[in-house]
Amino acid sequence: MSSNPKFDDALREAIISRPDVILDDQDLMQALISANERAMGGNIVDLRGIAMERLEHRLDRLEDTHRSVIAAAYENLAGTNQVHRAILRMLDPLEFEPFLRNLGNDVADVLRVDCAKLILESFESDDDPVVHRLGDVMTVAKPGYVDAYLTQGRSIQPRPVTLRQVQNGSAAIYGEQSDWIRSEACLKLDLGEGRLPGMLVLGAEDPHMFSPQQGTDLLTFFAGVFERSMRRWLA
């Protein structure tokens, strides 16, 4: 009489009729390979098994990469849609003051930032009543302020978009909100020939909202639309 345990006939028939079930199950295949290695004994090197194991590791790495690429694609798509919604909301107002107030409210909400502030360089004083009325969203600064703020005193060329983490936001820009601003996006604005530059600053309490490792394409596009709108208001 055979010493091997009798294999269940129903299970045997199920496996014969659908062998792909086992082939597609990674745990079952690994168990069968391990049983085969034990049956061969410890003095035999199974090169095919080693090759399969290496291929499995490579497949796992490829699957991880595939998942990462898909996640990044979804994140980029979500970011694109977010910026597009913000631009459409920004273009709704038909007058200058509502345009700026909308920037600090609805547009900031769409972009999920805690503060949006426009800085305009000017040789004039900030005694204009409009500046006082819009003080929560607009600040007038002396010429050279934008580049100095972007470079932080370093001898470098200011970039169109600067993303960075901060310990505390600038009180001159964020006012009472400066104590809890932990990251910011600074968008340098070209307001047209013969005009001093401006800057749009987006501040966030989340220190990971903006960092130098992130891409700037979407914010560069947003800044381009914003500065063209500003040229129209300043004309």
Predicted confidence (pLDDT) per residue in 62-96, tens digit: 777 777 777 666 677 777 888 899 999 998 888 88
Let me know the angle formed at the C-alpha of 42 by 36 and 44, rounded to the nearest 5 degrees: 75
Does residue 134 register a pLDDT over 80?
no
Distance in angstroms (rounded) separating the CA atoms of residues 172 and 86: 25
From 3.80.10, 3.30.450, 1.10.3470, 3.40.50, which CATH number describes the 94-234 domain? 3.30.450
Residue ranges with strand state E in the chain: 115-121, 138-141, 161-165, 183-189, 198-204
Better pLDDT: 28 or 233 = 233
For the chain, the structural domain boundaries read 94-234
The pTM (predicted TM-score) of the whole model is: 0.68
Cβ-contact 84, 111 below 8 angstroms: no
Q: pLDDT tens for residues 12-70?
A: 777 777 777 776 777 777 777 777 666 666 555 565 666 667 777 777 787 777 777 77
Q: pLDDT tens for residues 189-211?
A: 999 888 899 999 999 999 999 99
Q: State the pLDDT confidence band at 2, using cuts at 50, 70 and 90.
A: very low
Q: List the one residue out of 4, 15, 229 whose CA is nearest residue 118.
A: 229
- Residue 82: its pLDDT value, please? 87
Residue 201's beta-bridge partner residues? 117, 186
The one-letter code for the residue type at 167 is Q
Better pLDDT: 60 or 167 = 167
